[in-house]
Structure 1
C-alpha cells in the first residue's frame, strides 16, 4: 500500500490538462470537414509518427503490460512483442495504399469500388464497436488508477472520476478536432517516453545499474521464481491456455492494421511517403518504450512482491505506480499519475474523434444524405456524435472497472482483426472482391467475435469475469481471434462467390490499384 498525495497528483494532472487545452484552443482552425477530420493533411511523417505512438501507447501499454510482466514475467512481455510486430503489417501492406485511396475513414477505402451505402454503413458499425471496446478499456484504467493514487476507493467515487476523464476528452474533440487532438498525442507521447526513461534509469540505479541483479530480485519476490524468465508461466499451464496464447498472438499481430483510430491517422499526412515515415517513426518510438517497460515490469516485481501488487487497488495495473512511489516517492508517483491520466485522456480523445468521424462522414453524409450535404453540417453531426460516444464510454468504463487493461485492449484488437483486416486486404489486393464479400466479411467477423466474447470466460463463469456471479460461458478461450479472424476471411471469400461477378467493381479495381500505388487523384 502507498501513502499517495491526492493533491499533488491532481495538481500535476491539472497542469497537463490546462496546458493541452490551451494548445488545443490555439492550434484549432476548423473551417471545413477536412480540417476537423484530417487536419488538412498538414502533419509531417515524424510528427504523425510520434502522434501515432501517442495514440497507440495506451493505458494497456503503460499500466497493463508493466503489471503483466511484474506478475507473470515473460508471458506478460509477449503483449509488447505482439503490439510491436503488428506495425510491420501496417508498414508493408496498409499505410501507403490506404493513404492514397481514402480521404477520412476506412469506409472510403472499402466503398471505393463497392455499393456505397451498405458498405459505408457496415464500416461505420465496425468502427463504432471497435472504438467502444477500446475506450471502455481506457476508462477502466482511469478507475483503477484513481483508486490507487487519489485515495478514492468507493465505486461511486471512481465512477465520478471516470466521468470527469470522459468529459475532458470530449472537450478536446469538440474544440480541437484532429489537429488539436494530434498535438495532445504528441505532447503525451513525449511525456510518456520521458517518464518511462526516467523510471528505467532510477530503477537500474537502485540495483547498481545491474540488470542481472534486478532480475534476480524479481525472481525472489515472485512465487513463480525463475519461471518468470521463460514462456509458459501464464499461458503454458495446459493445452487450452497454450491455444489461448496463440489466439491472443493472432489478435495482437493482426489487429493493429484494422484499428480505425490508427488507420485514420494516415490521412493527416500529405502523401504516401509521409505515411510510411509515420509508421517507421512510430515503430522506433514504441520499440524504445517497450524495452523500458520490460525493465519497469520486472523492476516492479523486484521492488514490490507479487502479493503486494495484486492486493493493491487496481491489481496488476497498480505495478508501475507502486514502483514509482518506492523509487521516487510522492513526486515521481505524482508524475506517473499525471502521465497515466494523460495517456488515458489522449487515447480516448483519438478514439472518440475516429468514431464520431465515421458516423458523420460515412453514415450521415453518405448513407443518409447520399453525399448532398455541406461540410458544416457534417462537422456539427460529428460533434454531437462525440457527446453520445463519450457518455457511452463512461458507462462502459464503469461496468468493466477493475479488469486488466492489456487484456481488454487485446479484445479490441481481436474485433479489429476480425471485422476490418480481411475486407481491407481483399479490397486492396483481390480484383474479384465485391459488395457481398465486403458485407459478409465485416458482419461475419464482427458478429462471430462478439458472440464468442459474450459466451466466453471474459463475461461470465470465472471469478475475474465481468459478471462473476453467473455462468453462461461455453466458448473456452478468453480471446476469440483464432476462430473469428479465419471466419472473417472465409465469410469474405464465400460472400464474394455468392455475389457473382460484379463488373462495375472489377472495372473500379484497376483504378483503385493504380491510385493506391501511385497516389494519382488522391486527396
Structure 2
C-alpha cells in the first residue's frame, strides 16, 4: 500500500490546499478571459478571435485544445495499469497530426470562414448540408465532453476525498458551470488564451515530473521500467505488447480499430478544425500544426515516463480503488513524490486541461448551431451579429447542461478510451465528406448527406450495441447485456462505411456537381485567393 494512504484507504491530501490552488487558477484565467475579450463585437471576433493569432500562438493553443484529460489522466493511467498497450494511445494521437498537416489544415483555412459547415456547403446545397454538419459537430462535441467530465469527476473526487456518487455528480455539475462561464465571457479569443496558459502549465508540469522520476532512478530508463515491472501484477508482461489487446483475436481487432480511429479522427474533430480560422492565412495554419505537433511530441514522451513511474511507485490496487480509477494514476504519483502541495498543483493543471478543452468544445458546438443552423438555415443569412452571438451563448448553456448529464453517466470510465470513441465518431461522420469535398470533382449534395449521416448513424449504432454500453463489468450499464457488436471501438467498420456511403450517394444523387464551383473551391483552397 502506498505511503500516501491512510490505514482505512483514504487519500491523505489536503482538500483546503487543493481547492485553493484550483480556485486561484480559475480566478486568474477568468480575469485574463475578461481582459482580452471585452471587444467581442462581431461574429468574427466571437467565433475566430478576429484571426489575430500567429501560427506559434495558435499551435500552442491547438496543443492545449487537444491535450485533454485523456492525454494527461487517461494515458498515464492506461500505461500504469496495462503498460505497453497503454502507450498506443499516445502514438495514435501524435501520428494523427500528420493527416491534419498534409491533407486538411491549409485547404480548410483557405476555404471556410468559421465552421466546418462553411467548407462542406461551399459547392453544395446550403441548408441540408449545413444542418448535417451542425448535427455531426454537436454529437462529436458531446462525446468528447463525456470524457472531460468523467475525468473532472474522478479528479476532484480524489482532491476532496469524495467517494459518493452524488458528491462526484455535484463536482461534475460545478465543472460544467465554470466551463460555460468561460465561453459566455470570453468567446474564442478568451478561450484561446486559456488554452495557451494551460498548455504551458501542462507541458512544464509533465516535464518537471519526468525529470524528477529520471533522477529518482539514476537517470536510467531501464531502471524505471524494471521497477515498474517488479511492482505490477503483470510483471515483465507490462513491458510487452498484448497486456490489454493481445489476449484474443477480438482484442487484436479492437486494437486495429482503435488505431484507425485515433489516426484518422484528429483531422475531423470540429473543435480542432475551427482553430485554423483564428490565424490570418494558410501559412500560419501550417505553422500552427507544426508547433502543435512539437508540443505534443514532448508531452507524450513525458506521459510514457509518468505512466511507468506511477506503475513503479504507486500500488496498482491503490490506483484502481481510488476515486476515478485508472484516471487517478498521475495525481497519485504526484502525491507520492511531492505530497499534498504537488498533488494540488498537478490536479489544478489537470483541471485547467479539462476546463480549457471543454470550453473549446462548447464554443465549437454553439458556433456551429448559431452560424450554420440559426443564421444560415433558419434566417437564410439575414441576421445581425449581435443576435447570432446571443444565440451562440444560449446554445453554450444548453450544451453545458447536456455535457453535465452525460459526464455523470460516464463517470468512472477511462477517459482516454472515451476520447477514442469521440475520434471514431468524428472520423466516421466528417473525414470522408471533408476529403471528398476538397479532392473529388463529382462529389455532390447527396454524397455529402449520405457520408455524414451514414457514418454517424453506423458509429452510434455500433457503440450502442457494443461492450461499451452493456455486457461487460466496466460498461455504462454493467447489469444488463444487449450487445452484439464485439469491438469496443467501431472505427474499423464505421469509417470505411462512411466513405462507401459518400461514394454511393454521389453516384445515386440526381443533382450533378457544379464544375464552376469546384474550380473556384480548388483555386481558393490551393492559393488562398478569396479566403
What interval of TM-score do these two structures reach, taking the shorter chain for normalisation? over 0.9
Q: In structure 1, how many angstroms separate the alpha carbons of the residues matched to 2:25 and 2:453?
A: 40
How far, CA to CA, are the matches of 2:234 and 2:161 in structure 1? 31
The 3 A distance-change label for structure 1 pair 482 and 503 is closer
Give the match for residue 151 of structure 1: 161
Deviations 1:439-469 (A, max 9, x none): 0000000000000000000000011000001
Superposed counterparts of 1:446-485, under 5 Å: 446-485=456-495
CA distance, structure 2, for counterparts of residue 7 and residue 273 of structure 1? 47
Q: Which residue of 2 aligns with 1:322?
A: 332
**1:371 paired residue number:** 381
The 1-side partners of 2:319 and 2:48 are apart by 41
- Secondary structure at 2:518 match in 1: helix
What SS does the corresponding residue of 1:3 show, helix, strand or coil?
coil
1:225 maps onto 2:246 in alignment? no
Is contact 1:84-1:287 (8 Å) kept? yes
Q: Deviations over 1:305-351 (max 9, x none)?
A: 22221122211111101100111111111101101111111100000
Q: What's the CA shift string for 1:15-62, capped at 9, x where partnerless?
A: 110000000000002110000000010000000000000000000000
Map of 1:50-89 to 2, 5 A cutoff?
A: 50-89=60-99
CA offsets 1:48-104 (integer angstroms, 9 cap, x no match): 000000000000000000000011111000000000000000000000000000000
Give 5+ residue unaligned stretches, structure 1. none
**2: distance between equivalents of 1:24 and 1:305?**
40
Alignment pair present for 1:23 and 2:45: no
Residue number in structure 1 paired with 2:8:
none
TM superposition shift of 1:501: 5.5
Contact 1:432 1:501 in 2 (8 A): no
**Which of 326, 344, 350 is the aligned partner of 2:354?**
344
Separation (CA, whole Å) in 2 of partners of 1:332 and 1:214: 21
Match for residue 527 of structure 2? 518
1:294 paired with 2:304, answer: yes
Contact conserved, 1:144 with 1:313, CA < 8 A, in 2? yes
Q: Distance in 2 between matches of 1:313 and 1:356?
A: 32
Please name the residue that 1:103 is paired with. 113
Task: Tell me the alpha carbon deviations over residues 220-279 of structure 1, each in whole angstroms, 9 at most, x when there is no partner.
Answer: 011211112221111010110000000000000000000000000000000000000000
8 A contact 1:54–1:346 mirrored in 2? yes
Matched with 2:259 is: 249
Mean Cα deviation higher: 30-39 or 217-226: 217-226
Q: 2:366 aligns to what? A: 356
Structure 1 contact 36–178 (Cα < 8 Å) conserved: yes
CA distance in 1, matches of 2:129, 2:140: 17
Alpha-carbon distance between aligned partners in 1 of 2:177 and 2:226, rounded to the nearest angstrom: 44
CA distance in 2, matches of 1:330, 1:83: 31
Q: How many residues align?
A: 521
Deviations 1:120-166, CA, capped at 9 Å, x for gaps: 00000000000000001100001111221111111111111111111
**CA contact under 8 A between 1:38 and 1:178: conserved in structure 2?**
yes
2:147 and 2:419 in contact (8 A); partners too: yes
Q: Is the 8 A contact 2:441 2:513 kept in 1?
A: no
Instruction: State the alpha-carbon separation in 1 of the partners of residues 167 and 315 from structure 2.
Output: 28
Find the residue that maps to 2:201 and give its secondary structure: helix
2:325 and 2:331 map into 1 onto residues whose CA distance is: 11
Matched, 1:169 2:148: no
Deviations along 1:388-430, whole A, 9 cap, x unmatched?
0000000110111111100000000000000000000000000
Counterpart-to-counterpart distance in 2, 1:107 and 1:493: 19
Residues 139-198 of structure 1: per-residue CA shift (max 9 Å, x gap): 000111122111111111111111111111111101110000000000000110111011
Contact 2:109 2:281 in 1 (8 A): yes
Whether the 8 Å CA contact 1:86–1:253 is kept in 2: the answer is yes
CA contact (8 A) 1:299 1:323 kept: yes
Show structure 1 runs of 4+ deviating over 2 A. Answer: none
Residues 471-520 of structure 1, C-alpha deviations (whole Å, 9 max, x = no match)? 1000000000000000000000000000145142x321111000000000
2:516 — aligned with what?
A: 507
- Greater Cα offset, 312-321 or 482-491: 312-321
Q: Take 2:206 and 2:398, find their aligned partners in 1: how far apart are those partners?
A: 34
**Deviation by residue 1:285-312 (Cα, 9 ceiling, x = unmatched):** 0000000000000000000122221122
